């Protein structure tokens, strides 16, 4: 393990968070919201993880680039993150329609940054951190910036070390003994391995740029590609030019209070199955992702909700939660919740059973309801006597979505 730290390098850094994706593989959960605004772990949004990483790392000048159904995400940023900065610091959302130069939608990841280059040019930042807004992980980004500085890099790419078989699904870096990138290939049949190892470096979609180099390559790249993209165009172009391109091994990154089993934790949660599994990990006795590490907290909008409570304690009508996450404002009234995650303001009425499920905000479960292995969207009321997750053919007839693995999704 190698750690790189060099004082407070984040003061000279501005961040651009790409948060405009539709998250189509996560449908129908993303039909009415962008993927970064999907709930995770009950009280959080997916976007909160990258923003917490930036905040905890000392990076507090952050633009969040939104696009698809952006209202809910913009509101979440305004109601929470925008309140916590000052003295020249900011967390601000910008969308294509806020660009005075035009109202053209982002046509690629690098095009999104290009459309708002004026925001970067208006700062005195030496470095630009470009991160995605739709992954679950913890990272001290200052360590990656220090690594970038030590290597005198033009761009540093965050790299996940994975098996050869897994690497076939990602963009793969070829590197030399110093982790300088020599080639980049999207979803190769025969991925290049790390020197003297049988594993590969794949792209996490997170980059540190030296500011002048970013402006230079984006302006040059935009002349060649209308749909300018970092993976498809910018990185190959920089390699072709002989720029200093380095890979940063994510497993080397340690945040304060991190348990050994949490090192290298990074989840895409891009499909219903991966999203469900990552949530369900949280209710394990020792989850891989530790949300109780107060040295590296995950921040979100702290609404003024009362504590969760359970009511009734009689045979056959006992309010209880077992191995579950229960958020503020929830009432478990004479019912049982087991291995589940309840978002804020949920109510589970008497004689009902909720197991192995994820409930979003403000879900009400009627009496005598049985739910197993389901995801229930926000503001939904499940009528008395309903059964979900026990007969998938019946679930489909009711209009619910059922995955091949048997997860039932109930949306508005």
Instruction: Specify the CATH number for the domain of residue 395.
Output: 2.160.10.10
What is the structure's pLDDT at 211? 97
What is the structure's pLDDT at 128? 98
- Do 141 and 17 belong together in one domain? yes
Give mean pLDDT in consecutive 10-residue pieces for the chain, a chain of 412 residues: 56 92 86 93 97 95 88 89 80 72 66 92 95 96 97 98 94 96 94 95 96 97 92 95 97 95 93 97 96 96 92 96 97 98 98 98 98 98 98 97 97 90
Q: What is the DSSP letter of 232?
A: I
Ranges assigned E (strand) in 5-112: 13-18, 39-40, 44-45, 61-65, 90-94
- Do 99 and 193 belong together in one domain? yes
What is the structure's pLDDT at 351? 98
Is 373 annotated for ligand binding? no
Is 165 annotated for ligand binding? no
How many Cα atoms within 13 Å fall on the side-chain side of residue 209? 25
Asked whether the beta carbons of 320 and 303 are under 8 A apart, the reply is no
* Strand 374-376, strand 401-402: pairing: unpaired
* Residue bearing tokens 């952006």: 70
Tokens of 43: 């009280």
- The answer to whether position 286 is within a domain reads no
Question: Which domain does 52 fall in, by range?
Answer: 9-281
- The answer to whether position 341 is within a domain reads yes
Is 277 annotated for ligand binding? no
What is the structure's pLDDT at 88? 75
- The answer to whether position 295 is within a domain reads no
- Do 210 and 325 belong together in one domain? no
Number of domains in the chain: 2
- The answer to whether position 303 is within a domain reads no
- Do 276 and 316 belong together in one domain? no
DSSP code per residue over 106-172: P-SHHHHHHHTHHHHHTS--SEEEEEESS-EE---HHHHHHHHHHTT-SEEEEEEEEEHHHHTTSEE
- The answer to whether position 99 is within a domain reads yes
User: Domain boundary at 237, 261, 281, which?
Assistant: 281
Is 190 annotated for ligand binding? no
* pTM confidence score: 0.94
Q: What is the CATH number of the domain that holds 247?
A: 3.90.550.10
């Amino acid at each position: 393990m190698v750690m790189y730290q060099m004082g407070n390098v984040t003061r000279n850094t501005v961040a651009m968070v790409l948060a405009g994706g539709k998250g189509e593989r996560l449908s129908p959960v993303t039909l009415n919201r962008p993927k970064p605004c999907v709930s995770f772990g009950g009280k959080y949004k997916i976007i909160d993880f990258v923003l917490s990483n930036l905040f905890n790392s000392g990076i507090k000048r952050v633009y969040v680039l939104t696009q698809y159904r952006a209202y809910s995400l913009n509101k979440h940023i305004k109601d929470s993150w925008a309140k916590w900065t000052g003295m020249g610091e900011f967390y601000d959302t910008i969308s294509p329609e806020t660009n005075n130069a035009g109202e053209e939608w982002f046509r690629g990841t690098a095009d999104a940054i290009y459309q708002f280059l004026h925001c970067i040019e208006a700062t005195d930042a030496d470095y630009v951190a470009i991160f995605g807004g739709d992954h679950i992980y913890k990272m001290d980004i200052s360590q990656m910036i220090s690594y970038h500085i030590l290597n005198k890099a033009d761009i540093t790419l965050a790299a996940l070390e994975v098996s050869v078989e897994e690497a076939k699904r990602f963009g793969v870096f070829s590197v030399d003994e110093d982790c300088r990138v020599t080639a980049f290939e999207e979803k190769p049949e025969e991925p290049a391995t790390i020197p003297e190892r049988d594993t590969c470096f794949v792209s996490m979609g997170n980059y540190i740029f030296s500011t002048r180099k970013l402006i230079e390559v984006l302006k040059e790249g935009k002349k060649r590609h209308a749909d300018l993209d970092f993976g498809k165009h910018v990185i190959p172009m920089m390699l072709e030019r002989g720029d200093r391109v380095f890979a940063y091994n994510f497993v080397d990154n340690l945040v304060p209070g991190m348990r050994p089993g949490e090192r290298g934790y990074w989840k895409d949660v891009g499909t219903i199955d991966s999203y469900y599994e990552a949530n369900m990990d949280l209710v394990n006795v020792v989850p891989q992702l530790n949300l109780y590490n107060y040295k590296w907290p995950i921040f979100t909008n702290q609404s003024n909700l009362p504590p969760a409570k359970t009511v009734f304690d009689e045979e056959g009508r006992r309010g209880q939660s077992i191995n579950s996450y229960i958020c503020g404002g929830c009432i478990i009234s004479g019912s049982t919740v087991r291995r589940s995650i309840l978002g804020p303001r949920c109510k589970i009425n008497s004689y009902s059973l909720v197991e192995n499920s994820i409930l979003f905000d403000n879900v009400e479960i009627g009496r005598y309801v049985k739910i197993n292995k389901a995801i229930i969207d926000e503001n939904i009321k499940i009528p008395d006597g309903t059964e979900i997750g026990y007969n998938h053919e019946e679930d489909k007839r009711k209009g619910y979505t059922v995955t091949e693995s048997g997860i039932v999704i109930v949306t508005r």
